[in-house]
Chains A and B, each alone.
Chain A
């Protein structure tokens, strides 16, 4: 894996030299790796300035009671200084177990988990199904493929509006349902159907990515494996279960992780579909945005606290996911 830079340096140093002191080691490390450090410097600087600094400042804000009434602001020519106070972990306590914490946080939390699990499962299953259909000799395969990635090709901020028109009370979906004598739910008003609509639209938006990635994974599976399985008398289901799914593992593990992260953070679909009107359908991200920018007065501190909580949830999930992947890989 290592390039000439590393391997030559390692060879000349050998294993026998006495272990140098901490400064010596630092200098060694610098001499050996300065190319690498020079190359990563731009990103490290950007990350420090644009991510780390705001993160630290955001974390500090969560320890205060900052809102749009006591933050620094300029009205006309008058500048008003910030007057918010430090209140320690009060925001977190209030969010997690303060009065009405269930309505404000836990209900959105549960819905966010359900939303993520449901959407990713639907993305994966439908995406895999379509990918398997496309992964065979078929007339018009390219045509189908191009057609099916259309929802990915058009920006979501365009397509979600189209869905909004279609799902509105007198929209085309309810007209069709009406002509079939089926109930016509109020997709954009009734809480349960708001959630259904959100999952529906997000599934529509997210399937193409899964489909195309999994199709790539399917094509990379060696056909010889299928032949061997067939020779051993495996039926189609067994072939799917014992050849296709294990063969897809490397792709699946990545796209599922990406899918979970993207769905968990999905802002556009819910925000554009409902705006600030549907408190029940808001997932944590859009709810945090509502707290910080969708209401008056804007509650900056709580919004930032939601952000920190969300980030820690994702960090915990990702590290567990990786640990789980690594363990499974060792077993396999």
Chain B
């Protein structure tokens, strides 16, 4: 591979007189000049800094004990303290919000994965009339703007007396989580060899048996990704949660965090502390599963 056959520079490799050409000739594939390596590190560090800065800044501001400290960040350095954190943990609804967030997100996750699993399998393996249509609908529901469902959902939940209840919010989230999980799992099931199904069939398993005994155990990583994804979507959803949850003890984090900064009173220091408390466990968890997440997201897409 080192024998490049270009027409313009037939200079032999040992020729010491063509110093200027030499570095380019000798460099092997995949090798770069010092300058290129330096530039790569420079660009990546800059990008990394931009990615990190807003979060680091939030953490820094959360250490400023007074309400106006965010306006004068220089002062925080001298009096950094964890007083915001203790205030948030002791005197706000933080744990109530945590509880409602967990109820809603976990509820959505469980329902989403349970309902979607068999469908993902059926869509991945069987060709039945209406197959393409179902795929198309699953894809289209992911494109639903919140605006199209929020008004009728508000009416329906109002009629059923489900406004301001966890169940209502879980139902709303399931409208996106269930088709989404089905789509995601279809992508994962596609990667499991069909020979496994056939082996199951030969050994006398029904399609349900094949699914339950062979495919589900193999698909655990895929199920985990689907679960995580529905969790994180429900966790970060703002529009439905801030419209349907009225009681400030039932707020999810996404709504509760906003309540620190209303028009009348902006408590940025408490907001920052709460934000950090929320962000740390979520991002830690995210880093654990992120590799699988990406393959899951892009796998199902291309094959219609």
Which A residues are closer than 8 A to B by beta carbons?
A: 1-6, 29, 32-33, 35-40, 42-44, 46-47, 50-51, 53-55, 57-58, 61, 71-73, 129-130, 133-134, 136-138, 140, 144, 146-159, 161-163, 165-166, 170, 172, 204, 208-209, 212-213, 216-217, 226-227, 230-231, 233, 250-251, 253-255, 257-258, 261, 264-265, 267-268, 271-272, 284-285, 288-289, 292-293, 300, 303-304, 306-308, 310-311, 314-315, 318, 322
| A163 near B54: Cβ-Cβ < 8 Å | yes
Of the A-B pairs whose beta carbons lie under 8 Å apart in the complex, a sample of 20, sorted by A's number, is A36-B126, A38-B208, A43-B138, A44-B134, A50-B178, A58-B148, A61-B155, A144-B44, A152-B286, A157-B254, A157-B257, A158-B58, A165-B61, A209-B297, A251-B298, A254-B302, A261-B142, A268-B238, A311-B143, A318-B139
Given contacts A303-B151, A307-B147, contact A165 B238 (CB under 8 A): no
Cβ contact of A154, chosen from B43, B121, B257, B279, cutoff 8 A:
B279
Q: Nearest-CB distance from B71 to chain A (Å)?
A: 5
- Asked whether B174 lies within 8 Å of A46 as measured between CB atoms, the reply is yes
Query: Does B227 reach chain A (CB closer than 8 Å)?
Result: no
Complex formed: what's the CA distance from A322 to B111 in Å? 30
Residues of B near A315 (CB, < 8 A) are 140, 143
Known A-B contacts A33-B128, A157-B236; A50 and B55 likewise in contact (beta carbons under 8 Å):
no
Inter-chain contact A148/B143, CB cutoff 8 Å: no
Inter-chain pairs besides A35-B122, A57-B156, A204-B51, 14 sampled, C-beta below 8 Å: A29-B129, A35-B207, A39-B119, A138-B41, A150-B52, A154-B282, A155-B254, A158-B257, A212-B294, A231-B4, A233-B6, A253-B301, A255-B298, A284-B145
Tell me how far the C-beta of A298 lies from the nearest C-beta in chain B, rounded to whole angstroms. 9
The 8 A-B pairs of least Cβ separation, nearest first, read: A254-B301, A307-B148, A58-B152, A288-B147, A307-B147, A39-B122, A50-B175, A153-B283
Tell me, yes or no, whether B98 is within 8 Å of chain A by CB.
Answer: no
- Residue of A at shortest CB range from B144? A311
A123–B11 alpha-carbon span in the complex (Å): 43
How does the 8 Å CB contact mask read for B31-64 relative to A, with 1 for contact and 0 for none? 0100001001101110110111011011001000
Question: Which residues of A are found within 8 Å of B155, using beta-carbon distances?
Answer: 57, 61, 71, 300
Min Cβ gap A147→B in Å is: 4
Residue of B nearest to A60 (CB): B152
Interface size bucket, B side? 35 or more
Minimal Cβ-Cβ distance residue in B for A264: B145
Inter-chain CA distance A33–B131, complex, in Å, is 11
Q: What is the interface of chain B mostly: helix, strand, loop, or mixed?
A: helix
* A289 lies within 8 A of B127 (CB): no
A134 to B121, CA, bound (A): 35
In angstroms, how far is the closest chain B Cβ from the Cβ of A241?
Answer: 19
> Footprint of A on B, CB under 8 Å?
1, 4-7, 29-30, 32, 37, 40-41, 43-45, 47-48, 50-52, 54-55, 57-58, 61, 70-71, 73, 114-116, 118-119, 121-123, 125-129, 131, 134, 137-156, 158-159, 171-172, 174-175, 178-179, 182, 194, 197-198, 201-202, 206-208, 211, 232, 235-236, 238-239, 243, 253-254, 257-258, 261, 268, 271-272, 275, 278-279, 282-283, 286-287, 290, 294-295, 297-298, 301-302, 304
Task: From A134, A152, A230, A251, give the contact of B44 (CB < 8 A).
Answer: A134
Across the two chains, which residue of chain A brings its CB closest to B43?
A133
A264 to B142, CA, bound (A): 12
A-chain residues with CB within 8 Å of residue B138 when the two chains form the complex: 43
A8 to B: closest C-beta gap in Å? 8
Known interface pairs A162-B57, A162-B58; A133-B148 also in contact (CB < 8 Å) = no
A42 x B118 contact (CB < 8 A): yes
Contact A2 B127 (CB under 8 A): yes
Contacts of A153 in B (CB 8 A): 282-283, 286-287, 290
Contact status B257-A50, CB under 8 Å:
no
A residues near B253, Cβ cutoff 8 Å: 155, 157
Bound CA span A39–B156, Å: 28
State which of B134, B148, B152, B271 has its C-beta within 8 Å of the C-beta of A40.
B134
- Determine the chain A residues whose CB is within 8 A of the CB of B127 once the complex forms: 1-2, 6
Cβ contacts under 8 Å, B52 to chain A? 147, 150
User: Given the interface contacts A161-B271, A204-B50, A288-B147, does A43 sit within 8 Å of B139 by beta carbon?
Assistant: no
Tell me which of B4, B7, B201 contacts A4 (CB under 8 A). Answer: B201
Are A51 and B144 within 8 A (Cβ)? yes
